[in-house]
Structure 1
Amino acid sequence: MEDHTNGSSWKQALAGSQMLLVAFGALVLMPLITGMDTSVALFTAGIGTLIFQIVTGGQIPIFLASSFAFIAPVIASKGKFGMAETMGGLMAAGILYIALSGLVRLRGTAFIRRLLPPVVIGPVIMTIGLGIAPVAVEMASGRTGDGATQLVPEITALWIAMISLAVTVIMSVWAKGLFRLVPIMFGVIVGYILSAFAGIVDITPIKEAAWLAVPNFIAPEFSWGAILFMVPVAIAPAIEHIGDILAIGNVTGKNYLKKPGLHRTLLGDGLATSAAALFGGPPNTTYSEVTGAVMLTRNFNPKIMLWAAGTAIILAFVGKFGAVLQTIPVPVMGGILCLLFGSIAVVGLNTLIRHQVDLSQARNLVIVAVTLVFGIGGMVMGHLEGIALCSVAAIILNLVLPGSDEAWGKAIYEHNNE
């Protein structure tokens, strides 16, 4: 397997900038949807990636940025507790990752295998995408994510949203090389230009913004309500994290679950998420888009992710850059999210298919069915609701229902325990 790990610093810097470009679209969409500051998100993605690389000994070519699993919970928590207490809850969610990493170190990956088989992983990931699907539809229709306010005339919004979606789909399917990895960027650019012609882009914030500006950092506050609301949500991205570590291992031909170890990668992700919340940024997760770029470029040198992180931190302090991102019209984001949220759901569906989970077995059918309805339907029990509740329900059902062997088709960790 060819490994382009050598090269001068400028080549590494260029490769790092390229990796940030691949991650960029999804990185900024999450804060734009939830009302967070995009410059803070860039800063915390950079800081989070640096923390992850330090904890894992700089062995894994992976980049951390905004997690889509937290979109719906952050919007709900912001309405109930305010942004500062939501950040406190997200810090606690990062601490759950850290606790999980300790358990993995003590008990090994077999403990994860028992707790999170594909019959749990699949439907939980599906609910991350499908549970927030209405947000995409509302935004594509020119309304705020909750549907409360019409920001753009619906006909105009739908035209812009569908063309933005079409461009993103075309680039995803027909583009070649690196262009295929940045379909969101092309969708945003075309949608932005159309919006400018339609007269729905307000460039006043760009004119008023300074070239250099400190991001709008927010200090966290802590309340048990926000913590109990947010902590269970971390189960879903923890599941996603394990899949991403396996994926990058398959690309580079290395077993990262053994070296540096799943306990170190979970610890790095947990510390990165808590650090992000400390500054008022979205929680971090490992980015599969970047794994795709690593596969395509064959550049397996983890140092390029340090350059990507550094570039993100520098861009966070360019005030006009952040202002441009804030002016992206709602229909543009809505159109692209129609694809992005659906793609997340397909990843969950593919987890069930790939591991040949037998849904004719009663226990598996019950777990998937209850998880989907609780998650997508927005079931509420105390402080638990939506993704958090369905994650907890899936884990409990898997542990208490008889026939746990039936939860597995082909074991996800089989090749790591040989």
Structure 2
Amino acid sequence: MTDNVLRSDSKLEKEISLKSSSRKVVLALQHLIAMFGATVLVPMLTGLNPSIALFSAGMGTLIFHLCTKGKVPVFLGSSFAFIPVVITVNKLYNGDFSYAQGGMLVAGLIYVIVSLLIKKIGVEKIQKFLPSQVVGPMIIVIGMNLIPTAFDMASNNFMVAAITLATALLVNFKGKGFFKQLAILTGVIVGYLVSYKIGIVDMSIVKESPFISLPPFNAPKFDFGAIAIIAPVVLAVFMEHIGDITTNGQVVGKNFIEDPGLNRTLLGDGLATIAASLIGGPANTTYGENTGVLAITKNYDPSILRLAAVFAIALGFVSKVGAFLNTIPVPVMGGISIMLFSMISLVGVQTIKNNKVEFNTKNIIVMVTILVFGLGSSIVEKKFGITIGIPVTKTVKISGLSFAAIVGVALNAVLNKNEK
């Protein structure tokens, strides 16, 4: 009798374990789909190889989780901040991407050095410059600056984008249990089926690609000119990193700036970028798309992100699967991205609300300044061709979110210097 009970319990445990593993696989695939479009888009714009980008994104994510003790549910993908400087270097060196790799590798080293400095002086001295009236607007700007990109993607076919977005929202608000966590994946599937039905899915790339192939890894080359153009971008993306990690923490309900520490998250980004540069991939950064997935699914298990990283590495070798994912129409990804990026901005609003920021004159000035510089500078640049920012080199200028964050931090430090 006892043996039968033990066998029954063992069978039940196996079924529960299998069910849990199946859910993790589906959730990991959802994260993979969320990051796929943007991660592949960067190498497509710069001339780097998409397969290496996928491989380096997965590898970089695992490196990041190792550096952060597996505590932060983050996925690393291709950084958009490096696109203009990589294109510039490629033109200067006649399309030899190896020199851009060398510049990105040095940028990664700077990240590592900064992380060591933060460890030495202490995160507390950093945190006092980042109160909620600074961090909240920064998060809002991150999401709002990404929404036009999502809208441009959706504009390829507004009907498909609207169906995709509506499906995801319907599942998110009306779904129950585990199905509710699959809002993004469900939206993508429905959007894909509609796209296939109206004939905007191109399957030829799947037929033409081999099943398995080795990504064309490439070693970096170093030249001071290329390094001087690319390395200063670190100054521009440092505040974005803080914003992304803070956003992730706000979504999860933990302070990752304190534990595992900003020094460890920066170290993870730096080492991931170095590793990617060594094999021919783009610089890595934390991804807002995946933070949006966390906000929607409410599932914050870091092991799911690590599983997604393993899938990304595998996709670097399985050409057929990568080609199939590449057939997902742009408007489908646009519809989903509108939802993801909007969720990020809402997290910024919640940050201000939940931390009970006092709406006095000083704090209002700080918040409005960040929002105006963060959102308005891109409008000024498009309409008048004037870039508002801080020149770093002849080709690099700190602008947009990075400039807004620096001004906001400095302004808050001056106006609230006597506040606790």
Does TM, normalized by the shorter one, top 0.5? yes
Partner of 1:414: none
Q: How many residues align?
A: 375
Partner of 1:233: 237
Which of 51, 56, 75 is the aligned partner of 1:64? Answer: 75
- Percent identity over the alignment is 34
Q: 1:132 to 1:62 in 2, by over 3 A?
A: closer
Partner of 2:112: 98
Cα distance in 1, alignment partners of residues 411 and 265 from structure 2: 27
Cα distance in 1, alignment partners of residues 337 and 293 from structure 2: 19
Cα distance in 2, alignment partners of residues 197 and 332 from structure 1: 13
Which of 127, 139, 144 is the aligned partner of 2:153? Answer: 139
Q: 1:136 to 1:122 in 2, by over 3 A?
A: same
CA RMSD across the alignment: 3.5
How much has 1:328 moved relative to structure 2? 1.8
How much has 1:358 moved relative to structure 2? 2.3
Q: Is 1:321 paired with 2:321?
A: yes
Cα distance in 1, alignment partners of residues 109 and 195 from structure 2: 42
Partner of 1:30: 38
What are the within-5 Å matches in structure 2 for residues 286-301 of structure 1? 287-288=290-291, 296=299
Partner of 2:371: 372
How much has 1:220 moved relative to structure 2? 5.7
The TM-score normalised by the length of structure 1 is 0.76
Query: Between Structure 1 and Structure 2, whose CA radius of gyration is higher?
Result: 2
How much has 1:159 moved relative to structure 2? 0.8
Deviates more, 1:12-21 or 1:24-33: 12-21
SS in 2 for 1:348: helix
Task: Deviation per CA, 1:127-169: give whole Å up to 9, x if none.
Answer: 2221232222222111xxxxxxxxxxxxxx1111111111111
Alignment gaps of 5+ in structure 1? 1-5, 143-156, 409-418
- The one-letter code of the counterpart of 1:213 is S
Cα distance in 2, alignment partners of residues 182 and 218 from structure 1: 37
Q: 1:179 to 1:117 in 2, by over 3 A?
A: same
Partner of 2:352: 352
Is the contact made by 2:213 and 2:319 (CA closer than 8 Å) also made in structure 1?
A: yes
Q: 1:197 to 1:104 in 2, by over 3 A?
A: same
The TM-score normalised by the length of structure 2 is 0.76
Alignment gaps of 5+ in structure 2? 1-12, 379-386, 392-396
Is the contact made by 2:292 and 2:340 (CA closer than 8 Å) also made in structure 1?
A: no
How much has 1:79 moved relative to structure 2? 5.3
Task: Deviation per CA, 1:353-405: give whole Å up to 9, x if none.
Answer: 2212223322x222222222222232433212222222222222223x23246
Is the contact made by 1:177 and 1:296 (CA closer than 8 Å) also made in structure 2?
A: no
SS in 2 for 1:223: helix
Is the contact made by 2:107 and 2:230 (CA closer than 8 Å) also made in structure 1?
A: no
How much has 1:259 moved relative to structure 2? 6.3
Partner of 2:166: 166
Q: Is 1:244 paired with 2:248?
A: yes
SS in 2 for 1:115: coil
Is the contact made by 2:182 and 2:297 (CA closer than 8 Å) also made in structure 1?
A: no
What are the within-5 Å matches in structure 2 for residues 11-26 of structure 1? 14=22, 17-26=25-34
Q: Is 1:50 paired with 2:58?
A: no
- The one-letter code of the counterpart of 2:144 is L
Is the contact made by 1:119 and 1:368 (CA closer than 8 Å) also made in structure 2?
A: yes
- The one-letter code of the counterpart of 1:339 is M
SS in 2 for 1:66: strand
Deviates more, 1:100-109 or 1:77-86: 77-86
Deviates more, 1:102-111 or 1:282-291: 282-291
Q: 1:327 to 1:131 in 2, by over 3 A?
A: same
Partner of 2:4: none
Cα distance in 2, alignment partners of residues 186 and 294 from structure 1: 12
How much has 1:206 moved relative to structure 2? 0.7
Partner of 1:146: none
Q: 1:17 to 1:217 in 2, by over 3 A?
A: farther
Is the contact made by 2:295 and 2:343 (CA closer than 8 Å) also made in structure 1?
A: no
Cα distance in 2, alignment partners of residues 96 and 12 from structure 1: 40
SS in 2 for 1:340: helix
Q: 1:208 to 1:86 in 2, by over 3 A?
A: same
Is the contact made by 2:154 and 2:330 (CA closer than 8 Å) also made in structure 1?
A: yes
Partner of 2:285: 284
Q: 1:133 to 1:219 in 2, by over 3 A?
A: farther
Q: 1:351 to 1:277 in 2, by over 3 A?
A: farther
Task: Deviation per CA, 1:162-186: give whole Å up to 9, x if none.
Answer: 1111111112222233333332222
Partner of 1:396: 410
Cα distance in 1, alignment partners of residues 147 and 330 from structure 2: 15
Q: 1:237 to 1:213 in 2, by over 3 A?
A: same
Cα distance in 1, alignment partners of residues 169 and 298 from structure 2: 21
Q: 1:233 to 1:189 in 2, by over 3 A?
A: same
